[in-house]
Structure 1
């Protein structure tokens, strides 16, 4: 016996392909095709910004940070600066790192930063609920290699700080780099 199927669309539409066959992301076009940043203008405006906003800390812009990283030759200080730039960590957070803070699970490589900034007084309920740690992935393969080489060559204990120095030492080193004749910032 031959079974006949209706030729119209009596069959239900196919189900979404799901987990193993993700849909293609929609192609979005934006009117902004490129962004031009006038770094020299922003550098020139910095004194005005620092003088008019009370709580604004001194800061460096991307070209200045890249010049600073390029001129740093000491491997330990270079790694500290790279970690600060890549992860957005404060100096004290980078100096508190131990080998156990670096995570390489075979899928991702990253660092777990412990937030050390504390407000004075008794912490609020909201502050107690907030996690004092954050995971930051490190996607730069060269930086991953430098971190792993530094940890391997240093023979650090799992709980020993990998940068045994004070925050002021790093600050002095950065200020010394900035005061060199090559610095134009």
Structure 2
């Protein structure tokens, strides 16, 4: 990295903003790059997971989420669902978003979430100020473009909430969406997308500690419940292990 020297030592130069140039290739990547997931098998095993694991939250898998997203034609609700699915945000955290919560440091486009547990109604300004924050990268360029287009078209003030509905309204909309696509074997709510985000990362081998931080959990123990999706499939887990 280029550095600027002065009398006090070396400091990294600020990264210039990209203008009409392709993204630079990453110098290194996470060790696990590709996984093969049998989605049909995992969907078939879900009933067993929910039936045998105490307090296991309901969840969707990628093909199911994409089916719902493709069926959602309302741009506002589509963006809400996408943000919950790709960031693991609680619906209360999404409904608290303003344009100031989105940032680009030249390397990553991110959304800064206030960690807010679900409570009746929208969070107050006092609740927002007291809650810790976490930054979650948004790596999908199409989603980044839709977020920026939505903010531009909405002419929002910097600290104006970009979604004006209540959590209950979003849940009702999701229930209607599920009916339009033919129903589902589980009850799907806003929180289902958050659970699905966590499981999706674990299925791709991402560290439990990082998943916990992205979810805004105080303790990693709260995140461990999702690992049951990886271990309940005994036949797949023991494949290749010979006892005789």
TM-score above 0.5:
yes
Match of residue 94 from structure 1: 94
Displacement of 1:183: 5.1
Moved more, 142-151 or 44-53: 44-53
Q: Counterpart of 2:164 in 1: which secondary structure?
A: coil
The ranges of structure 1 where at least 4 consecutive aligned residues each deviate by more than 6 angstroms after the TM superposition are: none
Q: Counterpart of 1:157 in 2: which secondary structure?
A: coil
Moved more, 65-74 or 35-44: 35-44
Over aligned residue pairs, what C-alpha RMSD do you find?
A: 2.8
Displacement of 1:96: 1.0
Distance, in Å, in 2 between the alignment partners of 1:133 and 1:61 is 27
Distance, in Å, in 1 between the alignment partners of 2:34 and 2:76 is 36
Aligned length: 147
What are the residue-to-residue correspondences of 1:57-76 with 2, within 5 Å? 57-76=57-76
Match of residue 56 from structure 1: 56
Displacement of 1:34: 6.3
Q: Which protein has greater RCO, CA pairs closer than 8 Å, 6+ apart? A: 2
Match of residue 144 from structure 1: 144
Match of residue 79 from structure 2: 79
Match of residue 170 from structure 1: 170
Displacement of 1:85: 1.5
Q: Counterpart of 2:136 in 1: which secondary structure?
A: strand
Residue ranges of structure 2 left out of the alignment (5+ in a row): 1-11, 13-26, 119-130, 186-244
Match of residue 103 from structure 1: 103
Residue ranges of structure 1 left out of the alignment (5+ in a row): 1-18, 119-130
Specify whether residues 181 and 77 from structure 1 end up closer, same or farther in structure 2 by C-alpha distance, changes over 3 A only.
Answer: closer
Displacement of 1:182: 4.3
TM-score of the aligned structures, taking structure 2 as reference length: 0.53
Distance, in Å, in 2 between the alignment partners of 1:38 and 1:179 is 26
